[in-house]
Amino acid sequence: MARNITPREKDYSQWYLDVIRAGELADYAPVRGCMVIRPNGYSLWEVIQRHFDEAFKDTGHVNAYFPLLIPSSFLEKEADHVEGFAPECAVVTHAGGEELEEPLVVRPTSETVIGHMYSKWVQSWRDLPILINQWCNVMRWEKRPRLFLRTSEFLWQEGHTAHAAKEEAVEETLRMLEVYREVMETRLALPVVTGEKSEAERFPGADNTYTCEAMMTDMKALQAGTSHFLGQNFAKAFDITFQNKDGEREYAWTTSWGVSTRLIGAIIMTHSDKDGLVIPPEVAPVKAVIMPISDDEKALSETFEPEAMELRDRLNALLGKRSVKVDTQYHMRPGDRFFYHLQRGVPLRIELGKKEYESQSVRLVRRDTGEKTDVSWDRAPETVRQLLESIQKNLYTRALEFRKANTHHVKSYEEFKNVLETRGGFITAHFAGTREDEKEIKSETTATIRCYPMNGQSRGTCFYTGKDDAPLAVFAKAY
């Protein structure tokens, strides 16, 4: 039992912070709302990044970089956009020892600069589509920051595409939503509900916003990624026009989509436990650690350690460079070394001591279940591979089962309030209310519409207004 981590049931927020501290993922920066992502957190982000980046490139996107500073007049060109972002913008008013003629906004997102550039780059239908992504930082001033979930500065990826036809842009929006779902489920082991956002929760300036919603182990919802169909709103604001095949001038159709370091928060709150961080093997910077154990220094350096190195090399050949490390922290006692890796979420621990050496075997210990397996040296690589797969699968299944067990369908508002209070979790219900109704429900229960699920084509009577033919919605309290 970890003694430096608050039990989850005692204080969920404190548990979350303890996991981050014990796992050395992040630390507070001198500026309020900002965080330092420490090497353990950053290497996790790098693996996550790699999976998404691959998926973007597989779907024809290329990376580019647009600047951090945006003329404030750009934000104002799209009415909803400026209204949505103005309150959380940081603005640079002085530079070079002088007051600037036009203040510069630190990007909260880049639709505007990118729109400006696209208008220069697009002339003909032959210039479309443009499929660009950028990895960068953004700044949205937060009143109530929380490590990884809501910080004033965070790292993310923003894809921005422009298309000649509306259908193509809609298709792109949905394709990227599906790419997100795929990577989140197969790599991060995060089951998500994909769906469309209500009008109230839509991205400022978008016609439609689609989302991936995940359930955390406190049963609250976390928006893990969004994909927006921007219609021609930004094309009109930034004059992104092209000549079509008939020689007519048309506005382009644009999309944007993003996932951020918030995903690290999602991994923590989905998989971690009383002993700290648990990382799914597919995103773990270190998939397994080999621990030579002995009270005899000579045996360690001459026998166990060389054996461990050899096994490491065989495993790395199978699992990829640097996937497996040998723990040579012999100044620490075995128990301390166990906890060290436990708290860092390493999926698999491989013990090699006297007992194993004599029988030419190793002991494998799973991070997710604590289950121990002894296996001979020659069968070790294959078994490790299988166990990692099994851990990956187990984490996903466990999270999915948890979500299923905590999702309830209701037919009336009374039932809605009752379920929310007594059981919590996700609530599915047919809903045809207005924006005001949604607001009313929120102020009364603090639950919001997370999305209208993609695969929830069922229609029914609205639980709130009694109207017929209402679409299915997922409600929950959210981060």
Partner RNA sequence: CGGGACGUAGCGCAGUCUGGUAAGCGCACUUGACUGGGGGUCAAGGGGUCGGAGGUUCAAAUCCUCUCGUCCCGACCA
**Beta strands per DSSP E along 197-277:** 208-215, 221-229, 241-243, 249-251, 253-260
Within 386-415, the residues that bind RNA by CB under 7 A are none
The smaller minimum CB distance to RNA, of residues 128 and 149, is found at 149
What six digits make up the tokens of 326? 């040998």
Strands (E) across 44-86 are located at 62-63, 69-71
Q: Does 302 bind RNA (CB under 7 A)?
A: no
Q: Identify the sign of the CA torsion 448, 400, 213, 194.
A: negative
Which one among 120, 126, 322, 355 touches RNA, defined by CB under 7 A? 355
Phi, psi of 379 (to 5 degrees): -95, -5
Contact between residue 451 and residue 429 where contact means Cβ atoms under 8 Å apart? no
By the rule CB under 7 A, 359 interacts with RNA: no
Q: Residue 81 is inside which H or E element, if any?
A: helix 79-85
Binding part of the chain for RNA, among 58-66, 331-339, 409-417, 418-426 by CB under 7 A, reads: 331-339
CB of 187: closest distance to RNA in angstroms? 17
DSSP label of 210 = E
What's the CA gap between 242 and 43, in Å, rounded?
42
Q: What one-character-per-residue DSSP string does 258-276 give? A: EEETHHHHHHHHHH-BTTB
Distance in angstroms between the alpha carbons of the first and the last residue of the chain = 28
| Position 417 contacts RNA (CB under 7 A) | no
Residue reference for tokens 């500065």: 153
β-bridge partners, 91? 105
Q: Does 365 bind RNA (CB under 7 A)?
A: yes
Which residues are registered as beta bridge partners of 153? 139
Q: Which of residues 135-174 bind RNA (CB under 7 A)?
A: 140, 143-147, 150, 156
Q: According to the binding rule CB under 7 A, does residue 68 interact with RNA?
A: no
Dist. CA 167–CA 24, nearest whole Å:
46
Work out whether 187 is an interface residue with RNA (CB under 7 A).
no
Q: Is 314 left (phi over 0), alpha (psi -120 to 50) or beta?
A: alpha
Can you tell me which of 23, 204, 231, 433 binds RNA, judged by CB under 7 A? 204
Q: Does 334 bind RNA (CB under 7 A)?
A: yes
CB of 180 to RNA, least distance (A): 10
| Number of chain positions touching RNA (CB under 7 A) | 63
Q: What gap in Å lies between CA 211 and CA 149, rounded to an integer?
A: 16
Using CB under 7 A, which of the segments 64-72, 83-91, 307-315, 459-467 binds RNA? Answer: 83-91
**Which residue among 258, 280, 347, 381 contacts RNA (CB under 7 A)?**
258
Out of 238, 242, 338, 475, name the contact with RNA by CB under 7 A. Answer: 338
The SS3 of residue 391 is helix
Q: How far is the CB of 411 from RNA (least distance, A)?
A: 26
**159: three-class secondary structure by DSSP:** strand
In the range 268-297, which residues lie near RNA by CB under 7 A? 275, 293, 295, 297
Q: What's the min distance (Å) between Cβ of 348 and RNA?
A: 11
Of the residues 225, 231, 381, 453, which one makes contact with RNA according to CB under 7 A:
225
Q: Contact with RNA (CB under 7 A): which of 49, 198, 208, 223? A: 223
Nearest approach, Cβ of residue 426 and RNA (Å): 17
17 binds RNA (CB under 7 A): yes
- Residues 442-461, interacting with RNA (CB under 7 A): 443, 446
> How far apart are the C-alpha atoms of 253 and 443, rounded to whole Å?
36
In the complex, the residues that contact RNA under the rule CB under 7 A are: 1-5, 13-14, 17, 28, 31-33, 84, 87-88, 109, 140, 143-147, 150, 156, 201, 203-204, 223, 225-226, 258-260, 262, 275, 293, 295, 297, 330-331, 333-336, 338-340, 342-343, 349, 351-357, 363, 365, 370, 443, 446, 478
